[in-house]
C-alpha cells in the first residue's frame, strides 16, 4: 500500500464494525497515526490493537460525540498526544426508525441529527484551528441515501441531506484557512451488518443470500457492491495530499449506482 498518509494524524469518530474498522486499519496501513473516538471503550481498544499491529500509534478516547464537553476533551486529548491533527473523519452515525417520515417521532429525528449533523459541525469547528495549522481536511461520511427517495430511509435522508449541505457550507467557510471539506457517499457496503440484513431478507422472501445480493447489486454499473476497504480507501484519498485541490465535493463510492450531475 502506498503511504499516502505517512505520519499524518487522523481523528476518526465512529469506530464500529464494517466501515469504521476499515477506516482505522486502512489509515494505519497508509502510514497515519490515529485518534479513535466512540462511546464503547472495548471496541476502541480492539481497533487500537489493529492500528498498532501496522506499526502506527493509536490514542483511545471514549467519547459521546453528542456532548460538547466530551467533544472538547477529545480535541484536547488529540493535541496533547500528537501536537497536531491533519484530518477529521466524521464517520459516526445514527439511524432513526425506518418508517415514513410523517410517522417518525420528532425526538427520534432530533437524536439522529445530533449525531449525524450537529456532532460533525461542532467537531469540525473545534478542530478547525489545528486543521488550519496543518493545512488539513475534514471528510464527512455521508450516504447514497441522499440520491434516492425510499420512504423507509426518509428520516435518515433528512439528516444526511443536512450533512451534505453542512459540508458544502464548511468548505466555503473554512477554505480561506486552508482547510478542505469533502464527503463520501457509499451505497450498500458488503460488510457484516448488511450481510446479516441480506440473510434476513432472504429468509423472509424465500430466496438465497446470493439472489438478494444480485438484486442489490443490479442497479450498479459494476454489478457488485463495494467492500469496506474500498470505501475506506476512497475516503482516505480525500484526506491525502493527492486531493490537495479538492474541496466541497461529494464522492459517490457505490460501484456506479448513482451518477453525479
**Segment 3-40, tens digit of pLDDT:** 899 999 999 999 987 899 999 999 999 999 999 999 99
Average pLDDT of the segment spanning 111-129:
98
8-state DSSP, 189: B
8-state DSSP, 100: -
Average pLDDT of the segment spanning 197-209:
95
Average pLDDT of the segment spanning 125-144:
98
Is 241 a residue whose pLDDT tops 60?
Answer: yes
Tell me what pLDDT residue 261 has: 55
Is 220 a residue whose pLDDT tops 70?
Answer: yes
156 in catalytic set:
yes
Boundaries of domain holding 198? 190-225
CA distances, 211 to each of 192, 208, 228 (Å): 17, 5, 21
Q: Are residues 154 and 110 in the same domain?
A: yes
Q: Are residues 153 and 185 in the same domain?
A: yes
Q: Are residues 212 and 84 in the same domain?
A: no
Q: 241 is written with which cell numbers? A: 495530499
In a domain, 260, yes or no: no
- Which is the catalytic residue, given 82, 153, 156, 213? 156
% of the chain with per-residue pLDDT over 70:
99
In a domain, 258, yes or no: no
User: What burial letters (b/e) apply to 99-135, b meaning 16+ CB within 10 Å?
Assistant: eebeebeeeebeebbbbbbbbbbbbbebbbebbebbe
Q: Are residues 153 and 32 in the same domain?
A: yes
Query: Which pLDDT band, with edges at 50, 70 and 90, does 163 fall under?
Result: very high
Amino acid at each position: 500500500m502506498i503511504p499516502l498518509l505517512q505520519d499524518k494524524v487522523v481523528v476518526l469518530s465512529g469506530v464500529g464494525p464494517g466501515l469504521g474498522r476499515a477506516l482505522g486499519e486502512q489509515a494505519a496501513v497508509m502510514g497515519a497515526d490515529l485518534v479513535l473516538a466512540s462511546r464503547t471503550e472495548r471496541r476502541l481498544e480492539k481497533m487500537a490493537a489493529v492500528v498498532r499491529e501496522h506499526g502506527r500509534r493509536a490514542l483511545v478516547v471514549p467519547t459521546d460525540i453528542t456532548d460538547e464537553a466530551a467533544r472538547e476533551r477529545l480535541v484536547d486529548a488529540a493535541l496533547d498526544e500528537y501536537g497536531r491533527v491533519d484530518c477529521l473523519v466524521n464517520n459516526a452515525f445514527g439511524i432513526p426508525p425506518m418508517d415514513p417520515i410523517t410517522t417518525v417521532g420528532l425526538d427520534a429525528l432530533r437524536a439522529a441529527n445530533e449525531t449525524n449533523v450537529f456532532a460533525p459541525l461542532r467537531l469540525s469547528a473545534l478542530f478547525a484551528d489545528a486543521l488550519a495549522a496543518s493545512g488539513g481536511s475534514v471528510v464527512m461520511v455521508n450516504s447514497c441515501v441522499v440520491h434516492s427517495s425510499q420512504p423507509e430511509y426518509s428520516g435518515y435522508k433528512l439528516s444526511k441531506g443536512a450533512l451534505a449541505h453542512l459540508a458544502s457550507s464548511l468548505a466555503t467557510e473554512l477554505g480561506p484557512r486552508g482547510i478542505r471539506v469533502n464527503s463520501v457517499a457509499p451505497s450498500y457496503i458488503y460488510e457484516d451488518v448488511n450481510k446479516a440484513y441480506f440473510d434476513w431478507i432472504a429468509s423472509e422472501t424465500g430466496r438465497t443470500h446470493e439472489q438478494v445480493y444480485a438484486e442489490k447489486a443490479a442497479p450498479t454499473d459494476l454489478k457488485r457492491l463495494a467492500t469496506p476497504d474500498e470505501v475506506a480507501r476512497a475516503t482516505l484519498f480525500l484526506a491525502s495530499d493527492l486531493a490537495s485541490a479538492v474541496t466541497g465535493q461529494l464522492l459517490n463510492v457505490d460501484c456506479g449506482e448513482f451518477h453525479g450531475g
